[in-house]
Every structure is written in structure tokens, then in C-alpha cells.
Structure 1
Amino acid sequence: MRRRSTVPVWLSILWRIGLALALVGIALAGHWFDRDGLRDNVDGSVSFVDVLYFTMITVTTVGYGDIVPVTEQARLFDTFVVTPIRLFVWLIFLGTAYDFLLKGVWERWRMKLIQNRLHDHIVVVGYGTSGTEAVAELVRRGTDPATIVVIDANADAIDAAEHCGVNVLLGDATRNATLEAVQIVRARSIIIAAGRDDTTILIALTARGVAPGVPVSVIIRSQDNEGLAREAGATTVINPASFAGLLLAGSTQSEHLADYLADLANHSGRVSLRERAVAPAEIGKPLSAIETGLGVRIYRGRSAIGFWEPGSAALEPGDRIIEIRPMSEAS
């Protein structure tokens, strides 16, 4: 378990400085009480200033040789006490420099590098139950985790997503700057699963304003809000409750209907739904003549044409085909 530290930055720095001074004080006290074991090669006498100088030089470096330990006791003290103190002091200084100076620069550089490389990626807003399952299914379908970006305002959710190997951003997705930071304009698609309909719709509005041409898929809990989500710019609106209701109602008339629909949606199923553009060699042919799978629907502009309708008799340039393919061939 962990939680965000409430200690101010200045207090953390003072605590580290105090720890370093305490370690140096131990070395100084040891050298002072055993000063007879030291020899000053310059004037032959060892004063407090000489001990202070020798301690600081020994702790920060390996010494210059002007003052040296000559007795076994002094040498053992330097070996087993001063040397570990030297290492701890250096670790404190290096850790402090990294935490308060280098870490910020390093993280900003990494963020900039990741941002520059983001292209044709998938942005998932919200890493709750639905967002987690969406990311897991994307990975199961062969999507490289490096091409997925998860945005969430919850630090624990971001930590969980990061363990999956995806890019993460802790932030508020209703703000333009957050979506611009993940290069949403260059994204392949956006999935919004914020958990609340009002938040989801607001994020969809923000996303549509920042990236007008990117497809937006949202999860809406209330059927009354589905129209609002589409007006906000969502290209795909999914209502888990309604879909579950359809499966349950269908199962009362056919025990295999729900099983087949789950088969279509699941990556581990035997068949898969696939959308693709019509091939040049297929133009002019009926939908039933395609050889890559079982054609079930054509999207022609804003119109959806079923396989039984007259419009499916001849495929046209620009058509999008929805087909069912065996999972072994879908990849």
C-alpha cells in the first residue's frame, strides 16, 4: 500500500541535509576522539580544524594524503565506518539531485519523446471496469500496448494501466490540454468509458472539438442519454445494460443466440466480425460474392445496407463491408 506524501518539498530537503550532516558528525566525532591515530604531514600537529578538514575531505573524496591515519584503530574506523558513511552521503546527494532536479527534466524529455512517436494510436479515457476490459481485449486482438494511451484522473487506475505496458496520462480528459497532450488529432480512435454519462458526454464534446475527424466510441449507461452522446460527436454509442437486455431477451427464444453473439464479440471465439473497405476487384459484384468472409452489411456513406436489400447487389467504390470470418482467418 502507498499514498501520496504530505511532506513539503523544503522539509524533505532539510531532512536529507540533516541526515547527511548527522553522518558527517559521526565521522567527525570518531576522528576527534581518535585524533592521536592521525598524522599531519604538514606541521605534525592535529587540531580540531585539521580533524574537521580531514573528515570532510575523506567523506567527500578519498583524501589528499596530507593527513593520514597511522594506527590500526584509525584505519579500521575509516574502513568500516567512514567508507559506508561516504557512500550513504553520496547516495543522499545523488538521490536529492535526481528527485528535485533531474527527475523532472528526465520525465519531461520522456513525455516529449513519447508524444512525438504517437501516431495511429488508440486513446482510452477511463480505466474502470469497462476501460480495463477494452484495453485487455485490444491487446488480445493483437494491438501493441505501446500504441494505446490511457487517461484517467485516478492515480491508482493509472498505476494499474501502466503495469499493462500502455502509455498513461494522469489528468482530466474534459480539458483540451489533456487531450492535446496525447496527440489525439493523430489518434486512430477514442474510447470513452468515464463511468458517468455527463462526464462521458463532456469528454466527447471536448474530443470532437480538438479532433473533429477521429472516431469516438462511448459507453452510456442511460438510454435517455444516447441521443445526447451522438449530438456531442460520438460515432459509436454502446449501452451495456441495453445490450445485456437484448442478449437476455434473445436467450428466452433461442438458447444459442447469446452464445453466438458472445462468440462474435470475443477474441477467443470461433468467428469474428470485421470491417474493411471494398477491394477494387470486388466493385460491381454482389455482397454475397466476396470471398474473404460472409458479408452481412454495407455502409455506403450514411446508409446501412443489409445483405438482403437491393443495394447489396453491386458493391461500389467507397463502400465499407461488415463480414463474418473464421477467427483463424480474421487476423
Structure 2
Amino acid sequence: MRKPAEPHIRDRRRTKPSLRKGRLLHVRSGLSAEKTLFVRVAIVAVLLMLVVAVFWFDRDGLKDQIDGTVTFPDILYFAMITVTTVGYGDIVPVSHTARLIDAFAVTPIRIFIWFIFLGTAYELVVQRIVEDFRLSRIQKQLNGHIVLCGFGHSGFIAAQETLAKGHPGDRIVVIDESEDRMHLAAEAGLIGLLGDATSEETLVKACVGQAKAVIVSTGRDDTTILVVLTVRHLSTAAKIVASIKQEENIKLANLSGANLVVSPPKIGGYLMADAVETRHATPFLCDLMSAGGRMVLSERRAEPGEIGRTMAEVPAGIVVQVHSHGRDIAFTERDRYVIQPNDLLLIICQPPPAR
């Protein structure tokens, strides 16, 4: 199994769920950390050789304060202390040409080498320490949160709707292998974890064991089922909602441990078929499913004042279905069925007022 990518944690600033225009290009380097370090060491070595060559060909403009003779070891020594800005003063440029070379040729090389040193130290040491610290701090606060595996188009809409339903962004963890998608997640106010959702290590970092729910929308049925299996292995309590494209894979997702399987092509087919014969049914259903619609479809426990009443007598909205002790009470029973304690009501009502 390949090693999962290192986590990339977003800046935890509060932002609106809408996306802002950010950096245009996000490119993941194809080099490993070892190869990156080797390439940068090679660049530094070439630059040092260039400085040595420049000083050697202009050695007549240098003066050795000790013995008056400038040898190749002296040039090598002078190049090293010049690039590192140490400068003991035992060898100095005395001619105008040597001073101009030092000012306009060696100084830019010196600055560039220091940028390489500082950038490498940040990428390979400091950044990892900072991200590990931030990840540890975030993990301590994660409990009863939502994990979203896959941040494609469906995952992004799911995240937007989750935010619109009142879930805070710092309690939604997004896992994806795309850096630009992680940038979008961060801009939407979510916690982004760059990595492979099928990896147990990545899911542990997302604290799946303490999660309230896991939404799996990877775009591939085989990957989704593998993620569901891994999540269920790590958590028996988390509710798993999986997006499956092919109908024959729905059963596999259920057997893998998914609590609920959603098939976007199937739902889309229903809506398009209704749109052929009706004009307003499809827009109404889409409005009903959206958190920002004029009416919302919610699921909740029966309140004390509703127990003992029929479905039609509930004043808070239109009860379209009741789930009672393992059976579903259809809308056709609304005038006969009496609501019992612990019944789950599926009710169409007005959305709560905006905060």
C-alpha cells in the first residue's frame, strides 16, 4: 500500500460557505521529499562552483592579507565564507572589477542560496512541525463532527447544504487528494485534510471514530465501497451515507456498512421523468430538498404536544410519513394513525428564520 499524503490543514478562519476567488493554479510536485532535497542540494553545489569559477578567473583582484598569494584553496575558502556572509577579512577584493563582481554577481547568488536553504527548512521541517501541531490541536476538538470523503461537485454541494443546515464549518472535515479542492474547502470555511480516504491512517487523522456521520462521495463506486468498509472498521457508531452511481453496486455498499445509499443518477432520472409531464413538480422537489428553499423536509422525534394526535392534526407542518417501531406509516393513514411516543416524523414545514 502506498504511503498516504501528508495532511494539509486549512487556515481556520470563519468564512461564508460561498467561494471566494483565490489562487488560480495549484500544482502538486511530482517529486518526493528525498528527490526534492537532492535537486536543491545539486542546485546549491552548482551555484557554489559558479562562484568559485568567477573568483578564480578574477583572482588578481583579490588580496590575501596573510601571505599575499591567492591559491585555489584560498578561492574555495573565500567563496564559501562570502556565500555564507561570514567574511573574516583575511581575503578581500581590492580591484574595482572584483568588487563589482562581488556586488552584482555573487550577492544575488548568495541571496538565492539562502532562499533555497530557508525554503527547504520550512517545507521539510518547519511546515511539518506546524501542521502536526495544528492537526493535534484540531483533533482534540473533533467529536460528533462530519467527515466528507471526496470534494468533487457532489461533495461540494453536500458541504454547502450541511453548512446551510447549521453545522459549523470547523466541525466538517473534508478528505481529498486534490490540492485545489482542499483550497476550495478551506475557502468555504471547512477543515481540509489532504490524503487518500481509503487509507486507514488518513481516516484516523480525521477522527472518524468520534464522527457523527461520514459522507462518502468519491466519484467511483469501487473507491466508495472501499472507503465505507474502512470507515465501518474504524467506527461502528458513525452514520455512513454513500453516493453510488451503478444500481448493482447499491447492495454492495449496504453490505459494506453504509446506513444509507444515495444514487444521484437514479434520483436525477426520477426528476427528469416527472419534468416531462409536469411543470412545477421538479422545481418544488428540488426546493424541498434544499436548505435554502421556501419549504423544508425535516425528520424529528414527535414532541410531547403531538403525541396522541393523528398525523393530520400536527400543527407544525404537513406530516408525510411516520416511522414507528420499525414500520413506515404512509401519508394515506394521516387521518387514522395516532402518533406514539418516540415516533419519527417526516414533516414538511417552513424553514427556521435566518440568524
Question: Equivalent of 2:263, from 214, 233, 239?
Answer: 239
Paired residues for 1:77-156 under 5 Å:
77-152=101-176, 155-156=177-178
SS at match of 1:261: helix
Matched, 1:323 2:347: yes
**Does structure 2 retain, via aligned residues, the 8 Å contact 1:286–1:313?**
yes
Paired position in structure 1 for 2:181: 160
CA positional deviation for 1:14: 4.2
Moved more, 24-33 or 304-313: 304-313
What do the CA deviations read for 1:51-77 (whole angstroms, capped 9, x no partner)? 433332121124123333344443333
Question: Equivalent of 1:47, from 51, 64, 70?
Answer: 70
What do the CA deviations read for 1:148-177 (whole angstroms, capped 9, x no partner)? 33334xx44x5324323141342152x544
**Does structure 2 retain, via aligned residues, the 8 Å contact 1:124–1:191?**
yes
Q: 1:179 to 1:300 in 2, by over 3 A?
A: farther
**Structure 2 Cα separation of the partners of residues 93 and 252 of structure 1:** 65
What do the CA deviations read for 1:266-309 (whole angstroms, capped 9, x no partner)? 23421112223444555555555555444433333433334644
SS at match of 1:329: coil
- RMSD between aligned alpha carbons? 3.5
**Does structure 1 retain, via aligned residues, the 8 Å contact 2:310–2:335?**
no
CA positional deviation for 1:264: 0.2
Unpaired runs of 5+ in structure 2?
1-24
**Structure 2 Cα separation of the partners of residues 247 and 66 of structure 1:** 84
Residue identity in the other structure for 1:65 = G
Matched, 1:302 2:323: no
**Structure 2 Cα separation of the partners of residues 55 and 224 of structure 1:** 69
Question: Equivalent of 2:298, from 274, 277, 280?
Answer: 274
**Structure 1 Cα separation of the partners of residues 32 and 278 of structure 2:** 62
CA positional deviation for 1:261: 0.8
Residue identity in the other structure for 1:5 = G
**Structure 2 Cα separation of the partners of residues 139 and 197 of structure 1:** 26
**Structure 1 Cα separation of the partners of residues 248 and 94 of structure 2:** 87
CA positional deviation for 1:217: 1.4
**Structure 2 Cα separation of the partners of residues 195 and 222 of structure 1:** 11
TM value normalised by structure 2? 0.74
CA positional deviation for 1:102: 4.2
Paired position in structure 1 for 2:52: 28
Paired position in structure 2 for 1:9: 34
**Does structure 2 retain, via aligned residues, the 8 Å contact 1:305–1:311?**
no
**Does structure 1 retain, via aligned residues, the 8 Å contact 2:63–2:94?**
yes
Question: Equivalent of 1:207, from 225, 231, 235?
Answer: 231
The share of aligned pairs that are identical, in percent, is: 36
SS at match of 2:353: helix
Q: 1:195 to 1:292 in 2, by over 3 A?
A: same
Residue identity in the other structure for 1:47 = V
Paired residues for 1:148-227 under 5 Å:
148-152=172-176, 155-156=177-178, 159-165=180-186, 166=190, 167-173=192-198, 175-227=199-251
Unpaired runs of 5+ in structure 1?
none
Paired position in structure 2 for 1:68: 92
**Structure 2 Cα separation of the partners of residues 253 and 29 of structure 1:** 82
**Structure 2 Cα separation of the partners of residues 186 and 115 of structure 1:** 10
**Structure 2 Cα separation of the partners of residues 302 and 35 of structure 1:** 92
Q: 1:245 to 1:18 in 2, by over 3 A?
A: closer
CA positional deviation for 1:196: 4.2
CA positional deviation for 1:82: 2.3
**Structure 1 Cα separation of the partners of residues 51 and 124 of structure 2:** 27
**Does structure 1 retain, via aligned residues, the 8 Å contact 2:147–2:175?**
yes
CA positional deviation for 1:127: 3.5
Moved more, 257-266 or 104-113: 104-113
Aligned residues: 324
Q: 1:5 to 1:36 in 2, by over 3 A?
A: same
Higher relative contact order (CA 8 A, sep 6+): 2
